[in-house]
Amino acid sequence: MVVLESLVSPGLILLEGEGMIWMTDYDAEVRDFVAAAAARAGEPLRRGLRLGFATDALPALRGGLRTATLASCDEYKLPANYHSQRDIPRNVDYETVASAARVAEAVVRTAASARG
C-alpha cells in the first residue's frame, strides 16, 4: 500500500516512521522498494524523516499491512501551511503532487512485473 499524504510542499519525502504517542517504523524492505522505484522514475526522494503526527497510513501500518507513505515538507521539515488558513489549493505544490504520482506508478508497475 502506498499512501500519498500532505503533498503541498516542495520536497517529496518517504516517511521512515510515524506516530503521535509511540513511533512505528515502516518496514525497511518496503521503504527501500519505494526508494528504488523513485530512483527508476527519476524522482528525488528525501529519506530519514519520521513524523510525530499520524497520517492516513497509520492504521494500515499498525495493522501489519506492508505500507509506505509519500509526503512532502518544506525547508523546516514540516508540511507547508498544514491546517492553517493558507492551506488552500493555490498554495499546493503541484509538481510535488505529480512527482508522488510518478513514484506511486513506478511502485505499482514494479510490483506488477515482479508478480509475473
**Is pLDDT of 115 > 90?**
no
**Is pLDDT of 27 > 90?**
yes
- Topology adopted by domain 2-114: Rossmann fold (3.40.50)
Tell whether pTM > 0.85. yes
The grid cell for 68 is 509506505
pLDDT at 116: 63
Reported as a single tens digit per residue, the pLDDT across 68-106 is: 999 999 999 888 877 778 778 888 899 999 999 999 999
Q: How far apart are CA 102 and CA 6, in angstroms?
A: 16
Residue range 12-35: average pLDDT? 94
Task: Report the alpha-carbon angle 9-109-103, nearest 5.
Answer: 10
pLDDT at 109: 95
Residue 39 identity: A
E strand or H helix that includes residue 17: strand 11-18
